[in-house]
Amino acid sequence: MKMSNRWNRFVYRLWAPIYDALLEWLFRKGRKRAMDVVGLQTGDRVCLVGIGTGTDLLLLPEGAHAVGVDLSEAMLARARKKLPLPGRSVELRVGDAQALPVEEGAFDVAVLNLILSVVPDPALCLGEALRVLRSNGRIVVFDKFLPDNSTPSLARRLANIFSTLFGTNINRRLGDIVSGLPCNVERDEPSILGGTYRVVLLRKPGEPQGNAHARRRQMSIEN
């Protein structure tokens, strides 16, 4: 089955009331590791892409400013129940992860937990995350991927027919998704279920942070 936004809206409306109770415990370790790897700092502006029921909101440090986007209004309704969070500024928006309703270059960090296996076009989703990041911005991904250069077995291809019915694709390769996009893979480590899931840190290229700081300081002196 080919994945689509229309189908995902339907499926995740069904998932919304039971998602946390059934799956939060399974993904908790991977989500926490992803947030540790990306190293959120006080004052960071964070775009939570495919925020779902808002589990990642609970992992934001104090002082974070976050915008969470999700296609499913039913999932966002669950996320809203987790707000407000003391010391954190959070805004939730209905939107497509493949066409984020946020401005270009506005964020320091993008969090893509369990979304690249869900959207119809994962490369388009990752490209949008890069668009909304500033230069040298970071992206963290926690998701399931086939090893690069591997081919899914017949059994896995058949299983994927059923998994897509439930709103997720089990046969995507990270290398295919990042190919041709302006980002560098800085970390790629195995996560839960024997490494079926991975935590990946990517960075949007740009002027080295040290050079940028020196340039701003020189401009301040000159002015």
Beta-carbon contacts of 17 under 8 Å, excluding residues fewer than 6 positions away, are 74, 78
- Give the range among 2-6, 137-141, 215-219 with minimum mean pLDDT: 215-219
- What band does 216 get if pLDDT is binned at 50, 70 and 90? very low
pLDDT at 218 over 60: no
Q: Which helix (H) or strand (E) holds 201?
A: strand 197-203
Are 144 and 117 spatial neighbours (Cβ–Cβ below 8 Å)? Answer: yes
92 closest CA partner among 66, 64, 118, 55: 66
Average pLDDT, stretch 31-39?
98
- Give the range among 68-72, 76-80, 102-106, 212-216 with minimum mean pLDDT: 212-216
pLDDT at 209 over 90: no
What own/partner pairs with CB < 8 Å and gap ≥ 24 does 167-172 have? Answer: 167/3, 167/7, 167/8, 167/11, 167/12, 167/15, 167/118, 168/114, 168/117, 168/118, 168/144, 169/3, 169/117, 169/118, 170/117, 170/144, 170/146, 171/146, 172/116, 172/117, 172/122, 172/144, 172/145, 172/146
- What band does 213 get if pLDDT is binned at 50, 70 and 90? very low
pLDDT at 118 over 70: yes
Average pLDDT, stretch 48-60?
98
Per-residue pLDDT tens for 148-201?
999 999 999 999 999 999 999 999 999 999 999 999 999 999 999 999 999 999
Q: What is the DSSP string of 122-170?
A: HHHHHHHHHHTEEEEEEEEEEEE-BPTT----HHHHHHHHHHHHTT--S
28 SS3 class? helix
* Full set of structural domains in the chain with CATH: 5-222 (3.40.50.150)
- What band does 215 get if pLDDT is binned at 50, 70 and 90? very low
217 SS3 class? helix
Average pLDDT, stretch 90-104?
98
30 closest CA partner among 141, 174, 186: 141
Neighbours of 192 (CB within 10 A): 18
Tell me the whole-structure pTM to 2 decimals: 0.91
What own/partner pairs with CB < 8 Å and gap ≥ 24 does 211-216 have? Answer: 212/135, 212/136
Looking at residue 2, what is its pLDDT?
Answer: 86
> Which residue is listed with tokens 């390769």?
173
